[in-house]
Structure 1
Amino acid sequence: MERMTKPLGQAFETLSVETRGPGLADQTAAIASWLARVGAQDGLLTLFIRHTSASLLIQENADPDVHTDLLEALERLAPRGRAYVHDVEGPDDMPAHIKAALTATSLAIPVKAGRMVLGTWQGIYVVEHRDRPHRREVVLHFLGTLGG
């Protein structure tokens, strides 16, 4: 029996995220909405943040205490106030670079039947590591079957 397959397509978008300083900004709904808008069916979604002092995470979306504990743990790993060589942009800059290096700048998420294959308690977050608000850009790329 011959199996019919749809040709692969792709879609790109840049998501602009306004952060408020250190914290996790949930982008799950915005990304799901974009997948629906482009008609994504089955494939792979790749996310890439275009910054070196912010990052991407898939993390629990139910208990906000997880976010608090995660941010505190990252602060212990890369504290402000240490004598870093790179300090031109302020005392929060080098710790932000370290935190971004310890987390992720890109994520790959399977998409099936138009929905991200995330676990029950998983959400997609931009993590701001700098002290002040920033505008962050996340590039979205879907490769797979596209439908109407």
Structure 2
Amino acid sequence: MLSKALQKALNDQIQKEFYSSYLYLSMAAYAESMNLPGFAHWLKLQQQEEHGHAMKFYKYVNERGGRVELQAIEQPQAEFPSPTAMFEEVLKHEQFITASINKLYEKALKENDYATQVMLQWFIEEQVEEEASASEILETLKMAGEKGQALLMLDRQLARRGMN
């Protein structure tokens, strides 16, 4: 059984994961408006992944006899100065989610909730991958610039996500 404090923290994380999903869908819409279908494809897959993360937390709370309480999701940013600025936001957001999951893990440690610690281990490992992926795209954008063939090539590379 989950403590009330841990249940609340997990519900807060569900809201953050659904917001992540909503944010990436908003970013995909921006990319499509900028005629960057590869970026949009990558972001839509990321949106689906974040929705899946929210549902993992949802399932876990229910499995532990807790009560899922969905919270409001604020409107995400819809405009970005550039693809580079957008991926700076992606990285910043993933770092925020990493910090949030780390705080959840600390709370589970303090409460000696071993099952929650084990479940959160998957998310801790996942966040390493999430941050590395965002960082790699951001660094490539910084090297390539925002115009011309390099941006087009990166767009095409991002369009291949999920095809490997």
Q: TM-score, normalised by structure 1?
A: 0.27
Q: Which of the pair is proportionally richer in helix?
A: 2
Larger proportion of strand: 1
The structure with higher relative contact order (CA 8 Å, sep 6+) is: 1
